[in-house]
Amino acid sequence: MATYYLKAPLSQQDVEQLRIGDVVYITGDVFTCRSRLHRWVLDEGHPLPEAGKERDVLIHVGPIVLPQPEGQYKLISFMPTSSIRFEKWGARAVDEWGLRMIVGKTTMGEQTMEMMKRKKCVHVSPQCVSPNAWVDSIHIDDVELFDELGTIEATWHMTVDKLGPFVVDIDCEGNNLYKNHEQEVNECRDKALAQLGIGPDFAYTKLY
């Protein structure tokens, strides 16, 4: 497992070298997106915000931002949100928006992983909840769709400086870090149930 300091926008080579378990820090221009932007663009046919056309690192996040006088914005708190909830839109987002990296909590599902493998894109996730460390690494440049979608669903343009650490949980080869860990937990679960006196033959009485 290696540590990489990457500059966005990313090259195909930047992401192809990454393997699950590697740690990344990102510097450069990124943009944000949540449920309503996915629906806005991919279901309702509105154009992708300008930020998405120029940037290839997407962060699934709903930050707390307070508008300041003279059009400035103050970032109060930042923690990536769960990516798996966007699975229905994931493959199209990777394909149509030309993404190289998605930052989000949890992971993505099979269809998005397949598209990531084809298009060379990775998913990275935080392994702690440390909004205060991240707020200090982020500058907000601009926002799109603030009035239409609200503060946390709008697209924020951010410049980030060594934002991380994030761990690669999906690489371009179709590997998933959490899927590997799942097997270990399943084995522990069987032992834990046995210690509680619940054997593999236990069956619930069918009430419905």
Partner 1 sequence: MIPREVYEQTIFQAIRKGSTTIAPDVCAAFERAIEAESRPAAREGLSKTYDSIRQSAVRDNPACPDTGWPIFYFKVGNQCELEGGFMGLEEATRSAVRRATREGYLRATMKHPLTGYDPGDNVGSNVPDFTYQFVPGSDLEVTYVAKGGGSECFGGTRHRVVAFADGVKGIEKFVVDSFVEATRSGGICPPNVLGIGIGGTANIAANLAKEAACLRTVGSHNPDGEFRKIEEDLYTALNSLGVGIMGIGGDTSVLGVNVEYAYTHIAGICVAISSNCMVARRGSLRICADGTVQEMSSPNWFEGR
The residue with tokens 């996730």 is 125
The residue with tokens 């410049």 is 159
Window 93-112: contact mask with partner 1 (x via CB under 8 A):
------------xxx-----
The residue with tokens 């619930």 is 204
Local structure of 73: helix, strand or coil: strand
**Window of 25-33, 47-55, 95-103, 176-184 that interacts with partner 1 by CB under 8 A:** 176-184
Q: By CB under 8 A, name the one of 53, 54, 141, 193 that touches partner 1.
A: 193
CB atoms under 10 Å from CB of 105, counted, come to 17
Q: How many residues does the chain have?
A: 208
| Buried/exposed code over 46-66 (b: 16+ C-beta within 10 A; e: otherwise) | eebbebbeebbbbbbbbbebe
**Window of 3-11, 33-41, 45-53, 89-97 that interacts with partner 1 by CB under 8 A:** 33-41
Q: How far is the CB of 149 from partner 1 (least distance, A)?
A: 7
| 81 is a site residue for partner 1 (CB under 8 A) | yes
Binding-site size for partner 1 (CB under 8 A) equals: 56
| 117 is a site residue for partner 1 (CB under 8 A) | no
Q: By CB under 8 A, name the one of 66, 96, 139, 173 that touches partner 1.
A: 66
| Buried/exposed code over 93-102 (b: 16+ C-beta within 10 A; e: otherwise) | bbeebebbbb
Q: By CB under 8 A, name the one of 70, 195, 200, 201 that touches partner 1.
A: 195
Q: By CB under 8 A, name the one of 27, 95, 167, 175 that touches partner 1.
A: 167
Q: Which of 52, 63 has the CB closer to partner 1?
A: 63
| Buried/exposed code over 179-203 (b: 16+ C-beta within 10 A; e: otherwise) | eeeeeeeeeeeeeeeeeeeeeeeee
How far from the centroid of its chain's Cα atoms is residue 57's Cα? Answer: 9
Residues that bind partner 1 (CB under 8 A): 35-36, 39, 62-64, 66, 74, 76-79, 81-82, 84-85, 105-107, 125-133, 135, 149-153, 167, 169, 178, 181-182, 184-186, 188-189, 191-193, 195-198, 202, 204-205, 207-208
